[in-house]
Amino acid sequence: MQIATGMENRTAMERTVLIIDDSETLRDEIRRIVSEVSLFTSYLEAGDGLDGFKKLLNNKVDLVLCDLEMPRMDGFRFLSMTRAREEFQDLPVIILTGKEDRETKIRGLEQGASDFVTKPFDAGELVARVRVQMKMKALQDELKRSNELLRTLSITDPLTHLHNRRHLMEMVDKEFHRAARKGGALSLIILDIDYFKKVNDTYGHQEGDRVLASLAEIVRARLRSYDIAARYGGEEFVLLLPETPLGEARTIAERLRLEVQDHVFGGRLQNNVLTISLGVATFPSSCVESVDSLFRQADEALYRAKQGGRNRVELMISGDT
């Protein structure tokens, strides 16, 4: 798998700088200096920290050049408000100040300033410091993308691109405790491809893999945004349906069963009809007191569906359903 580098991505994207200073003359000078080296494609300006923070909330900004002493909201207050929000914590903010004392710089750095430029500033120094911050931001952005990719890979089944079993169990535990706490319904469906071993034995494992991937697409297309689908193992899949009572879960399972039955899988299976069997269980119920018992009830319902002739939906057995 090849991953594009952050610097490559940035060349194809708009880069925006926000210049905050109460002097329009200085804002114009800064804009002229950075525009001459084509570091940014978009320029935003603000006359004080408050206006600057509003523009930050309403625009995607890659770097901020901010004066320290301004009316209404100074640079220190702007820094504290910016770093208080998670989405801005890694945003480079270069402070512009006429003060050269050590205490001012220490205070600014402690509040999250990325760098300082003392006024009156040298154009070459300003550009150099901006370049350094933009390079560091590109590296940070690439690291975030890489970490997110690694996280996605760690929770995803590589064949079906559904969640894997480990992540499923984490989500089931989370949703079960949430349902117990809030009193909502949580349904779980275990489905299994009927006679899947015959597919592998007759047509080969490559054709079997295509069936699994196709079934995953059918499942993914039919779930709501907050539902969770995972490959549980082999030809078994699990659907986790928050805020879904047993009757609604049965309807979802039945629709899925019919769609698989009517689906043309193509390839060497063009003239074959494949079916699935499904078991459905729901919490709360008198026979479900834990995640383990929720799985057990769904698994027993799936077993009854298999014993009953396959290509069918069976529900958990409970006196209160």
What is the per-residue pLDDT across 270-313, written as a single tens digit (0 to 9) for each? 788 999 999 999 999 989 999 999 999 999 999 999 999 999 99
Query: Average of pLDDT values for 200-219?
Result: 93
Domain at 6-152: CATH architecture? 3-Layer(aba) Sandwich (3.40)
For residue 4, pLDDT over 50 is answered with no
Q: Where are the alpha helices (DSSP H) in the chain?
A: 6-11, 24-36, 49-58, 75-83, 102-110, 123-154, 165-182, 196-203, 205-222, 246-262, 291-307
Q: 253 vs 148, which has greater pLDDT?
A: 253
pLDDT at 319: 52
- Give the pLDDT band (50/70/90) at residue 1: very low
The residue ranking higher by pLDDT, 185 or 9, is 185
Q: What pLDDT, on the 0 to 100 scale, is given for residue 320? A: 55
User: What CATH number is given for 165-315 in this structure?
Assistant: 3.30.70.270
Average pLDDT over residues 14-32: 94
Instruction: Collect all residues with Cβ–Cβ distance below 8 Å to 308 and sequence separation of at least 6.
Output: 314
Q: Are 211 and 199 in contact (CB under 8 A)?
A: yes
Question: What angle do the packed helices 246-262 and 205-222 form, to 10 degrees?
Answer: 140
247 or 111: which leads in pLDDT: 247
pLDDT tens column, 75-127: 999 999 999 998 998 999 999 988 877 888 888 888 889 999 988 889 999 99
Percent of the chain with pLDDT over 90: 71
Q: What is the pLDDT of residues 167-182, one digit of tens each?
A: 999 999 999 999 999 9
Note if 235 is an active site residue. Answer: yes
CA distance 260 to 273: 9
Full 3-state SS string of 221-242: HHCCCCCEEEEEECCEEEEEEE
Joined tokens for residue 56: 């930050």
- Residue written as tokens 């804002």? 27
Contacts of 124 (CB under 8 A, 6+ apart): none
Which residues contact residue 309 at a Cβ distance below 8 angstroms, ignoring those fewer than 6 apart?
A: none
A 10 A CB-CB count for 189 gives 27
Type of residue numbered 261: Q
266-305: buried (b, 16+ CB within 10 Å) or exposed (e) per residue?
A: eeebeeeebebbbbbbbbebebbeebeebbebbbbbbeeb
Q: Where do we find the tokens 């909201």? A: 73
pLDDT tens column, 55-82: 999 999 999 999 999 888 889 999 999 9
Catalytic, out of 45, 175, 235, 314: 235
For residue 119, what pLDDT is reported? 87
Q: Which residue has the tokens 């769609």?
A: 259
Q: Where are the domains of the chain?
A: 6-152, 165-315
Percent of the chain with pLDDT over 70: 95
Tokens of 288: 């479900």
Reported pTM: 0.67
Three-class SS state of 194: coil
Task: Say if residues 72 and 105 touch (Cβ distance below 8 Å).
Answer: no
Name the DSSP letter for residue 257: H
Query: What pLDDT shows up at residue 257?
Result: 96
What are residue 274's DSSP bridge partners?
none
DSSP 67: E
Mean per-residue pLDDT over the chain, rounded: 90
Angstrom distance (rounded) from CA 312 to CA 162: 23
Helices 75-83 and 49-58 meet at what angle, rounded to 10? 30
Top pLDDT among 315 and 110 is at 315
